Amino acid sequence: MAVELDHSFTTSKPDDESFAAITDLERVVPAVQGGSVLETTGPDSVKAEILVKMGAMSMKFTGTVEVTEKDEAGHRAVLTVKSREAGGQGHANATVTFTLNDGGGAIHTNAQITGKAASMGEGVVAGVLDALIADFTTRIGQI
- Residue-wise pLDDT for 12-55, tens only, equals 999 999 999 999 999 999 999 999 999 999 999 999 999 998 87
Segment 71-100, tens digit of pLDDT: 999 999 999 999 999 987 899 999 999 999
Residue 116 — pLDDT band, cuts 50, 70, 90?
Answer: confident
Residues 121 and 31: their CA atoms lie apart, in Å, by 26
Residues 101 and 88: their CA atoms lie apart, in Å, by 40
Q: Are 91 and 83 in contact (CB under 8 A)?
A: yes
For residue 98, the tally of other CB atoms under 10 A from its CB is 23
Burial bucket for residue 31 (CB in 10 Å: 0-12, 13-18, 19+): middle
Fold of 2-142: Alpha-D-Glucose-1,6-Bisphosphate; Chain A, domain 4 (3.30.530)
- The model carries a pTM of 0.94
